[in-house]
Amino acid sequence: MANTWGYGAMTNHLGDIQNSKSIFIIGASPAVNHPVGFRHFLKAKENNGAKLIVVDPRYTRTAAKADYYASIRPGTDIPFMYGMMNIIFENGWEDTKFINDRVYGMDEIRKEASKWTPEVVADVCGVSEDLLYEITKVFATNKPGCVVWAMGLTQHTIGSSNTRIASILQLVTGNMGKSGGGCNILRGHDNVQGASDMANAPDSLPGYYAKNETTWKYFAKMWKVDYEWLQGNFVKPEWMFKPGFTLARWWAGSLNGKDGNDAIENAGDSLKALFVIGNGITSTAQQVKVQEGLDALELLVLADPFVNEAGIITNKKDNVYLLPATSQFENSGTVVATNRSGQWRSKISNAMYESKPDHEILFELAKRLGFYDELTRTIRDENGNIEWPEAATREIASIVKSIGLTGWTPERLKRHQEHWDKFDEKTLLGKPGTPVEGEYYGLPWPCWTQNHPGSPILYDIDTPVVRGGMGFRNRFGLEHNGVSQLAAKGSAPVDGAINDGYPEITKANIEAVLGITLTDEEREKMGASWATDDSGIIAEKCMQKGIAPYGNARARAVVWTFVDQIPLHREPIHSPRQDLVEKYPSFEDKPNHYRVHTQYKSLQLSKNFSKEFPINLVTARLVNMSGAGMETRASKYLARLTPEMFADIHPELAKQHLLNDGDMIWIHSPEGTKIKVKARIVPSVQPDMIFLPFHFTGVMQGVDMSGNFPEGTKPYAIGESANTVTNYGYDIVTQIPETKGGLCRIEKA
């Protein structure tokens, strides 16, 4: 069970934003969530004359710095961006050559965009036609322009479509693969990108390798274990290839379809034990269900430097174990930044008291489960001693070819750490005459070989492959509906041996595609494809020819394997506009969605929720807090800034309910849950909306559970969780929860 709230890899990097002429932020507030990184946005405005555009339901601190701000109704990002495209196509502002040479399926996008006239967008999104036109013109005519998003775009039932439409906007404008352009998806926590890369998602192996027989056998070979032994650890052989539960809905596995809960597909059994390591599951949606799921477990183990509050909100009285884990300062190894850069961190303190590093805890668990020798086989020296973390870093570099981690040796990453001040912040390039000359900071992946400098900007064909350039990946075949999926002539990275599109490189085609002849020894050593070639020969041969190993294809605007082949607007399951629900209904229910039956249309159409719950509910972060708040609420200085849970309410809405600033209110959700919080009356939210920060827990529906904290561990601030009242709803592809679009009602306590 895992999830990292996946919302895409950043194509460019924070420093590169300084090269932008327009910055379009939708579903993010970097001034609050990434305050240090936000200086790059301000530098772009000050030094490059960049126009800052912010689209958000709530007037945020980021919006306060914007040149243009639009408040849209939650869950209407797709109509807004289609509305932009409608205007772009009408005025001929699209990049026709880029589209013709490097994109597949744009005609379908044009057709859908034609439906979203400014008048229709104004009705659905709640913005004026004039503002939509002004924002579109500024973004489309000030290039390069970048698009920035985070969880405000992804945490919807249509979150995957939201991220696709934002990327398509960049394809329409030709901003992809350009310095100052691209899609800058801001990761929310330290090493989220690294966790995603290392398969903290339930449907893939490390490096996003698919769970199929070919890749499992490749990993078995690289891990030096027997494939049949590996498969024998699953309840049945076929379960080796199935996705697991997600972080969002692990609790459904524990509840096992009982008492009206969604049915599960879990080999006929329920989830009995949960081992949580470094994850604040109290920041996920449906906290009452999380509590019920925790209560139903036979075993709960929580490994964390602070008390993980999953152990506080549960009513379980036995078999709950808190394992003290060390912090990052007592460990060394790599993390991966939001821009795909690897960063080495050095241990600065030994473990205190009885705490242990994460890897030692997992090693001990492996011993008890009987596969410690297999787990550590590749990270031992000739004397049998564990080499940590250097050997683990080398193992990752040797295996993960799929995203190009071959160049991430511990020696290179340590050298970058030592000389971090010798890189240019706008380009990431190591300065001349220094030990890191010609390399990009953190060797952003793909870093194809141990001599490759890293790739600071994805899909850049104006840069040679050996310097970080590449086209779009050839991932979905050579043609679809009779149309070539390879890029057009003249659309290959410069200085390469091939000037047009080409397929991903395999052992079978490398000689024909690259125009080379392999030796018998090379053929013997070479893996079947660039992604499973442990010899590294394919990547080396490709670098010699200036060819990206993964091919050079067209970006897909049409995804024929998805329910919605192009992004379509679908109203949130709990929508305030019942008239639009009938016009833009949600998906058909999805059985066995990451092992859990997931409701969409059946729930959405079961009643008009807006009659009883007329208020939009949005959640987001506070600048002084992080995630579930376990660490930050344990700081008396940070907790003093926001010592209690609250709800932001517009003065007009407060007046309707006879509320004064500081009054206590009950917030009720369509799930039958409620929280009691203090009202903070501010004009930054719309009159039909309330805002909740999601960093609090310890109080559940008015019941103070802080007595469950072990003596001396209670944080300085506790409170109701916003996610007790966030609504049911999960993305159709990733199952990320719909916390950014829901309904509620309020009453004075």
Domains for the chain: give ranges and CATH numbers: 15-185 (3.40.228.10), 192-413 (3.40.50.740), 610-748 (2.40.40.20)
Q: Check pLDDT > 60 for residue 4.
A: no
Span 126-173, pLDDT tens digits: 999 999 999 999 999 999 999 999 999 999 999 999 999 999 999 999
Cα-only R_g, the chain: 26
DSSP string for 244-260: ---GGGHHHHHHTTGGG
Tell me the whole-structure pTM to 2 decimals: 0.96
Residue 1: per-residue pLDDT: 33
Amino acid at position 337, single letter: A
pLDDT for position 52: 98
- Kindly write down the DSSP assignment for every residue of 456-473, as one continuous string: SSTT-TTS-GGGT---B-
Strands of 27-155, DSSP E = 51-55, 68-70, 103-104, 145-149
Please name the amino acid found at residue 159. G
Q: How far apart (Å, rounded) are the C-alpha atoms in residues 80 and 411? A: 47
Q: Which residues contact 161 (CB under 8 A, 6 or more apart)?
A: 78, 564, 567, 568, 570
The stretch 517-538 carries a mean pLDDT of: 96
The answer, yes or no, to whether residue 3 has pLDDT greater than 80, is: no
CA-to-CA separations, 85 to 89, 643, 743, in angstroms, rounded: 6, 44, 29
Q: Can you tell me the mean pLDDT for 356-385?
A: 94
- What torsion do the CA atoms of 325, 331, 337, 338 make, to the nearest 10 degrees? 0
Backbone angles phi, psi at 745, to 5 degrees: -135, 155
| Residues 473-494 pLDDT 10s | 999 999 999 999 999 999 999 9
Residue 342 above 50 pLDDT? yes
pLDDT in the model for residue 283:
83
Report whether the peptide linkage leading into residue 144 is cis, meaning its omega lies within 30 degrees of zero.
yes
**What residue type is 642 in one-letter code?**
T
pLDDT for 22-46, tens place per residue?
999 999 999 999 999 999 999 999 9
Asked whether the predicted pLDDT for residue 318 surpasses 70, the reply is: yes
Cα angle vertex 17, ends 14, 23, to 5°?
A: 125
pLDDT for 301 equals 97
Q: Which residue has the tokens 């705490």?
A: 355
pLDDT for residue 282: 84
The DSSP annotation for 309-327 comes to THHHH----SSEEEEEB--
Please list the residues that pair with 336 across neighbouring strands: 342
Residues 677/725, Cβ–Cβ less than 8 Å:
no
In this predicted structure, the answer to whether residue 729 has a pLDDT above a threshold of 50 is yes
Predicted local confidence at residue 7, as pLDDT: 53
Q: In this model, does residue 451 exceed pLDDT 70?
A: yes
Q: What does the block give as tokens for 586?
A: 């949600």
Residue 465 sits at φ, ψ, to 5 deg, of: -60, -40
71-95 pLDDT, tens per residue? 999 999 999 999 999 999 999 999 9
In the predicted model, what is the mean pLDDT of the chain?
95
Decide the pairing of beta strands 103-104 and 555-556: parallel
Q: Which of 517, 502, 591, 609 shows the shortest CA–CA distance to 548?
A: 502
Specify the amino acid at residue 727. Answer: N
Sheet with 320-324, edge to edge strand ranges = 273-277, 299-304, 320-324
Question: Quick one: pLDDT at residue 188?
Answer: 75
Model confidence pLDDT, tens digit, residues 676-707: 999 999 999 999 999 999 999 999 999 999 99
pLDDT for 593-624, tens place per residue? Answer: 999 999 999 999 999 999 999 999 999 999 99
List the structure tokens of 699.
Answer: 């109080």
DSSP state letter for 737: B
For 637-691, the pLDDT digits (tens) are 999 999 999 999 999 999 999 999 999 999 999 999 999 999 999 999 999 999 9
Distances (CA, A) of 547 to 12, 307, 451, 514, 673: 20, 50, 15, 8, 56
User: Is it the case that residue 465 has pLDDT exceeding 50?
Assistant: yes
